Amino acid sequence: MELNFNKVEFIRSAVKPADFLRDGLPQLAFAGRSNVGKSSVINRLVNRKNFARVGASPGKTSQINYFLLDGRAYLVDLPGYGYAKVSKAERDRWGRLMENYFASGLITLGVMIVDARHKPTADDVTMAGWFYDAECPLAVAANKLDKLKKSEIEPNLERIRETLDLREGDGLIPFSAERGDGKEQLIALLRAMLEVEV
Ligand code: GDP
């Protein structure tokens, strides 16, 4: 049976490895630069307005939030990166938490949110590398598509694919959390990737 993204419940936040969920259910790890629209993309996927909190929230930058999807898989909201106003201590906490999570072997597949308007940042490239090193398949959502002219879409997608050095089998979906573009395509891609992985 297909994973139902409308059945979703918040389970817990993790701030240290002991909090990680290890019950064997697949984990879909969502990563993205702060303000790229990761919370908005998650809310769009699960059809809720304020499920994942929208808006930068300094001080909450180093926690991992687990949501149970359909009782069968976790949507794992990783803390955003690249938020300029974060202290060094907070950045260090972020780094340790992410390193531990990526080393845990718990990630089934990665979902990266990038900005459809721009070339992926150095941080985005680093993040994609973490998924590659962990040998996770990756789906990339190029968000804020509504801000692009039609003629910009293809070249921008190509630039994203090249800059992130996406592998064969990785997915790239143009997306607008605001308008809803790409929602069904991303859900279909995640279902298909999960079927291969589990
Ligand atoms: P996060 O920090 O990555 O979780 O980003 P948020 O979901 O909080 O979104 C950051 C800002 O981008 C908010 O002002 C959103 O309304 C806006 N935003 C998110 N997705 C879209 C989109 O698809 N199109 C446009 N135009 N704005 C978006």
With H, G, I as helix, E, B as strand and everything else as coil, classify residue 58: coil
What number is the average pLDDT over the span 44-64? 77
What pTM value is reported for the model? Answer: 0.96
Which tens digit of pLDDT belongs to each residue from 23-52? 999 999 999 999 999 999 999 999 998 888
The candidate with the shortest Cα–Cα distance to 39, out of 14, 4, 72, 10, is 10
Q: Which residue ranges have their beta carbon within 6 Å of ligand 1?
A: 32, 34-40, 54-56, 80, 143-144, 146-147, 176-178
The candidate with the shortest Cα–Cα distance to 171, out of 7, 51, 4, 28, is 28
| 41 in Cβ contact with 177 (< 8 Å) | yes
Which tens digit of pLDDT belongs to each residue from 83-136? 878 888 988 999 999 999 999 999 999 999 999 999 999 999 999 999 999 999
Read off the pLDDT band of 58 (50, 70, 90).
low
Q: Are strands 64-69 and 73-77 parallel, antiparallel or unpaired?
A: antiparallel
**Taking 80 as the threshold, does the pLDDT of residue 54 lie above it?**
no
Phi, psi of 100 (to 5 degrees): -65, -40
Domains with residue ranges and CATH for the chain: 15-197 (3.40.50.300)
Percent of the chain residues topping a pLDDT of 90: 85
Residue 175 Cα: closest atom of ligand 1: 23
At position 123, the amino acid (one-letter code) is D
User: Based on the number of CB atoms within 10 Å of its own CB, is 84 exposed (0-12), middle (13-18) or buried (19 or more)?
Assistant: exposed
Nearest residue (CA) to ligand 1, atom 9: 37
- CA 161 to ligand 1 centroid distance, Å: 21
Nearest residue (CA) to ligand 1, atom 19: 37
**Taking 60 as the threshold, does the pLDDT of residue 140 lie above it?**
yes
pLDDT score at 51? 81
Tokens for 3, please give them. 């994973």
Question: Interhelix angle for 122-133 vs 88-103, to 10°?
Answer: 30
When the pLDDT of each residue in the chain is averaged and rounded to a whole number, the result is 94
**Taking 60 as the threshold, does the pLDDT of residue 175 lie above it?**
yes
- CA 18 to ligand 1 centroid distance, Å: 31
Nearest residue (CA) to ligand 1, atom 12: 37
How far apart, in whole angstroms, are the C-alpha atoms of residue 163 and residue 176?
Answer: 21
What number is the average pLDDT over the span 161-167? 98
Nearest residue (CA) to ligand 1, atom 10: 35
